[in-house]
Amino acid sequence: MAKAKPEPLVLKPAVSGNTKTDRGESSVKTNRYKVVIRCRRCGERFILRGRMTKEGKVETGFRQCLCDNDSDFDIRIEEL
């Protein structure tokens, strides 16, 4: 049987207290993130750009490392 495609990694950025739902202020909203993913198995580093989804998660489209690792990562998220 064919191996199922791994789900894209979905990340939750650390929110610094401000979780207000203010629909009006779209000018201040940061919607782009730099995501640094380091594989804990082989040490490979990936630098990606992520977008915040409606659910408050950062979506990068990253699926897995070259070494087939798809869950064991050090992840850092920075606002752009």
Q: State in angstroms the smallest separation of the CB of 70 from Zn ion.
A: 9
39 binds Zn ion (CB under 5 A): yes
- Alpha-carbon torsion angle 53, 15, 74, 3, nearest 10: -30
CA 29 to chain centre: 17
- Out of 12, 32, 41, 63, which residue is the one contacting Zn ion (CB under 5 A)? 41
Q: Which is nearer to Zn ion, 8 or 56 (CB)?
A: 8
45 binds Zn ion (CB under 5 A): no
Q: State in angstroms the smallest separation of the CB of 18 from Zn ion.
A: 35
Query: What is the C-alpha separation between 78 and 15, in angstroms, rounded?
Result: 11
- Out of 34, 36, 38, 44, which residue is the one contacting Zn ion (CB under 5 A)? 44
